[in-house]
């Protein structure tokens, strides 16, 4: 009977206290007894992060390589604009992952995996942009 019960949260729910959940909360620097976010907050953060990543992809793969050069504008500015947009997308994804965890959202692990994959992809693109700027 040395078991410590999980801390109660809003609406009678019980915050998960599995070792993996506790480890992820430490990685995300979320206090165990910190304020809980709502599921709506988590959804808004998710939508924002996906929107930023989508805008980045549209700019980098449609507007900059095809539309602007066809108009005779902004040839070669992709990496200069792509790096800050990628960084903004990474920040938005991390913030939304934190909100999913603060909300104890049932899909927090799913979104964490998706967010990590997108962040990895964006990091590869940032490295490619840096290499193209250096050449």
Residue 5 lies in a domain: no
User: Is the pLDDT score of 5 beyond 70?
Assistant: no
Q: Mean pLDDT across the stretch 75-84?
A: 77
Residue 96 lies in a domain: yes
Cα 135 from Cα 133, distance rounded (Å): 6
Query: Residue 81's pLDDT is what?
Result: 80
Contact indicator for 96, 48 with CB cutoff of 8 Å: yes
Tokens 């980098």 correspond to: 60
Please tell me which of 2-11, 25-34, 51-60, 123-132 the model is most confident about, judged by mean pLDDT: 123-132
Q: Which residues contact residue 8 at a Cβ distance below 8 angstroms, ignoring those fewer than 6 apart?
A: 14, 15
Contact indicator for 130, 84 with CB cutoff of 8 Å: no
State which H helix or E strand residue 112 sits in. Answer: helix 108-134
Residues of the domain holding 105: 37-134
Torsion angle defined by CA atoms of residues 71, 73, 77 and 83, in that order, rounded to the nearest 10 degrees: -70
Q: Mean pLDDT across the stretch 21-31?
A: 88
Query: Residue 109's pLDDT is what?
Result: 93
Percent of the chain with pLDDT over 70: 82
Q: Mean pLDDT across the stretch 87-105?
A: 88
Residue 128 lies in a domain: yes
Q: How many domains does the chain have?
A: 1
| Closest C-alpha among 133, 113, 128, 111 to residue 61 | 128
Query: Residue 12's pLDDT is what?
Result: 37
Residue 8 lies in a domain: no
User: Is the pLDDT score of 26 beyond 60?
Assistant: yes
Q: Which of the two residues, 29 and 35, has the higher pLDDT score? A: 29
Helices 108-134/39-58 angle, 10° precision: 30
């Amino acid at each position: 009977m040395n078991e410590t019960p999980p801390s109660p949260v809003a609406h009678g729910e019980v915050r998960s206290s599995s070792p993996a959940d506790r480890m992820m909360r430490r990685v995300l620097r979320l206090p165990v007894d910190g304020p809980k976010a709502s599921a709506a907050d988590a959804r808004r953060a998710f939508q924002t992060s996906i929107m930023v990543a989508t805008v980045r992809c549209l700019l980098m793969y449609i507007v900059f390589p095809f539309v602007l050069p066809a108009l005779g504008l902004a040839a070669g500015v992709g990496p200069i604009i792509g790096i800050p947009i990628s960084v903004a997308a990474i920040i938005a994804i991390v913030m939304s992952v934190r909100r999913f965890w603060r909300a104890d959202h049932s899909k927090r692990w799913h979104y964490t995996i998706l967010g990590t994959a997108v962040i990895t992809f964006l990091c590869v693109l940032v490295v490619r942009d840096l290499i193209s700027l250096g050449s």
